[in-house]
Amino acid sequence: MSEPNRSAAAAWQARVLTIYPEMFPGPLGFALAGRALEDGLWSLEAFDVRRFAKDRHGSVDDAPFGGGPGMVMRADILANAIDAVRLPAPAPLVYLSARGRMLTQSRVRELAAGPGITLICGRFEGIDQRVIEARGVEELSIGDYVLSGGEIAALALLDACVRLLPGVIGRAESLAEESHEAGLLEYPHYTRPQEFEGRPVPEVLLSGNHERIRSWRRAEAERATRERRADLWERYDRTRAARA
């Protein structure tokens, strides 16, 4: 495991605290994120929390006070790890947690616009609440389900941020019409062949009338959001009404 690179030249830095540093960069070493990593558009360092353990076994967890199943990551060990490797402010310190606030595209944009992020990947039953409070940790969740640990969630968050960094995606305008960017789910896409198993491409997309195409795509995005995500539609509808 390397020491933190305090002089990293990359525009956006990510540091991850985990007991499985070998899981990184994982899929982030491929495709757009991987090329951007090689080109120095961002940097990634993973640090083993067990390095900061107090015994020769590398123990980082203990039984929960009050009883109950499972183990909890210790506040003192995790705090030492955080203090040794975290990025300086204003880079946020984030714990991937099923009890955290839901990660949204707007929060992703904020994170990508900053200097970088330090992520804590929990394991077992989670981490001691006191280190969350003492170090001002932000808790974020990627969905209403439970994973075995925070590493997969960290990979998802990092991928969402990295693709927004300048120079990562060739045509930046392609980001503007994606799901969640305008408060709506994205409209459906079509390509060749023009007919597939008796299903033709919608006629409007072949018309060459860009205004009609824009109107159709907006209507389809609104329909998909209304049918699939009532929560997003309600928020979008309120915003639209306020602007009227």
Q: Is residue 123 part of a domain?
A: yes
Beta bridge partners of 44: 14
> Are residues 139 and 78 both part of a single domain?
yes
Domain that holds residue 202: 179-243
Residue 114, burial from CB neighbour count under 10 angstroms (0-12, 13-18, 19+): middle
> Are residues 104 and 225 both part of a single domain?
no
Listed residue (10, 5, 6) closest to 40, CA to CA: 10
The CA distance from 20 to 119, in Å, is 13
Are the CB atoms for 126 and 100 separated by under 8 Å?
Answer: no
Please give the chain's pLDDT, 244 residues, in tens.
444 543 444 589 999 999 999 999 999 999 999 999 999 999 999 999 999 999 999 999 999 999 999 999 999 999 999 999 999 999 999 999 999 999 999 999 999 999 999 999 999 999 999 999 999 999 999 999 999 999 999 999 999 999 999 999 976 655 656 667 788 999 999 999 999 999 999 999 999 999 999 999 999 999 999 999 999 999 999 998 888 7
Which of 137, 162, 187 lies at the terminal end of a domain, its last residue? 162
Indicate which CATH number applies to the domain containing 69: 3.40.1280.10
- To the question of pTM greater than 0.85 for the whole model, the response is yes
- What is the CA angle 121-123-128, rounded to 5? 85
The CA distance from 239 to 120, in Å, is 34
> Are residues 211 and 149 both part of a single domain?
no
> Are residues 213 and 122 both part of a single domain?
no
> Are residues 22 and 139 both part of a single domain?
yes
The CA distance from 101 to 86, in Å, is 21
Indicate which CATH number applies to the domain containing 208: 1.10.1270.20
Helix or strand run (H / E) with residue 82: helix 75-85
> How many structural domains is the chain composed of?
2
**CB within 8 Å of 89: residues ≥ 6 apart:** none
> Are residues 148 and 212 both part of a single domain?
no
The CA distance from 193 to 115, in Å, is 44
Cis peptide before 200 (omega within 30 of 0): no
Q: Match 């060459």 to its residue by tokens.
A: 208
pLDDT given for residue 243 in this prediction:
85
Q: Is residue 3 part of a domain?
A: no
DSSP-assigned letter for residue 59: -
> Are residues 28 and 143 both part of a single domain?
yes
Which of 162, 194, 227 lies at the terminal end of a domain, its last residue? 162
> Are residues 226 and 113 both part of a single domain?
no
Q: Is residue 171 part of a domain?
A: no
> Are residues 37 and 102 both part of a single domain?
yes
pLDDT given for residue 244 in this prediction:
76
Q: Is residue 227 part of a domain?
A: yes
> Are residues 144 and 57 both part of a single domain?
yes
> Are residues 42 and 133 both part of a single domain?
yes
Q: Is residue 225 part of a domain?
A: yes
> Are residues 110 and 217 both part of a single domain?
no
